[in-house]
Amino acid sequence: MAKLIDGKAISAQIREELSDKIKTMDKKPGLAVVIVGEDQASKVYVRNKHKACEEVGIYSKVFELPEETTQEQLLALIDELNADSAIHGILVQLPLPRHISADAVIERIRPDKDVDAFHAVNVGHIVLGDPLFLPCTPAGCMELLSRSGIDVAGKECVVVGRSNIVGKPMAMLLLHANATVTICHSRTADLAGVTRRADILVSAVGKAGFITADMVKDGAVVIDVGMNRNSEGKLCGDVAFDEVAEKASYITPVPGGVGPMTITMLLRNTITAAENFAAANK
């Protein structure tokens, strides 16, 4: 039976470390979170981010804009936040309404305030192995692995999913940690054949029960990034937890695995942004 990787406990430990660090800083780190429209899931995420900021001692300002906000209005707010010295990190909650280009908005955020690490400049730094900020969800997965004593160097790692937010940067972080990495997607031939090779399997697909026991090698480490609702409306990951836990050596639950780590890494990036700002303005 697999050992559970407790993302809630690991996250709480890191948040304590971050809170201690903030107490030593001359200026409080500041995060602006912008949300446009009425997406209820996004509203919950934003509320959680705000609460997490307050708990560790980060100044957080939430901008709730109406659905009919134009792209120009949103870009004007980004310009203001880019220039605001009390704000070190800017996060625009995705998805945005259809009439606003997420790419245009992300590209408008100053790279040194882009705590989600979505800006092309930051993506470039990540690929080069010289990141300003680590992408939150993949960085959270890496912390779960390292704080569970799992070394990825030399391991066969398979990432299922190739999104810009999770799959691709996840593969890049594993690669920089000296893993041998394969990325799978909807066009992968013989997916189960590939996933069965994995010492470490990361699933970021978005389909409940997608990773079944026959896709997992005995003793593999399984990291479940998925956040889905099952037929009863309950939050669950991509992994068929009960059957996969019988085979894996370590597994993350959903909820309580990767989820809490994503926000924690956002807090860490905001502190990094504030430190960099202080160093540049000495």
Known catalytic residues are: 49, 93, 116
The helix (H) or strand (E) run that includes residue 83 is: helix 71-83
**Residue type (1 letter), 236:** C
Binding flag, residue 29, ligand NDP (CB under 6 A): no
Nearer to ligand NDP, 186 or 281 (CB): 186
Please choose, out of 26-34, 83-91, 124-132, 203-211, the segment that lies near ligand NDP by the rule CB under 6 A: 203-211
The dihedrals phi and psi of 13, each to the nearest 5 degrees, come to -65, -45
Window contacting ligand NDP (CB under 6 A); options: 48-56, 80-88, 106-114, 200-208: 200-208
Out of 10, 31, 115, 160, the residue judged to bind ligand NDP by CB under 6 A: 160
Check binding of 262 to ligand NDP (CB under 6 A): yes
CB-wise, 69 or 252, nearer to ligand NDP? 252
The nearer residue to ligand NDP, 139 or 179, going by C-beta atoms, is 139
CB of 166 to ligand NDP, least distance (A): 4
* Number of other residues whose CB lies within 10 A of the CB of residue 136: 25
**Binding flag, residue 166, ligand NDP (CB under 6 A):** yes
In a 3-state reduction of DSSP, which class is residue 80?
helix
* Shortest separation between residue 212's beta carbon and ligand NDP, angstroms: 12
Cα torsion through 28, 32, 33, 37, rounded to 10: 150
- Does residue 226 touch ligand NDP according to CB under 6 A? yes
C-beta of 132 vs 141, nearer to ligand NDP: 141
Peptide bond into 95 cis (omega under 30): yes
198 binds ligand NDP (CB under 6 A): no
Tell me if 62 contacts ligand NDP by CB under 6 A: no
3-state secondary structure of 210: coil
Q: What are the DSSP E strand ranges found in 112-251?
A: 156-160, 180-184, 200-203, 221-224, 228-229, 235-236, 250-251
Compute the Cα dihedral for 261, 262, 263, 267 and give only its sign. Answer: positive
Residue 225 in contact with ligand NDP, rule: CB under 6 A:
yes
Q: How many angstroms separate the Cα of 104 from the Cα of each of 59, 118, 269?
A: 26, 11, 22
State the residues that interact with ligand NDP by CB under 6 A.
137, 160-163, 165-167, 184-188, 191, 204-206, 225-228, 258-259, 262
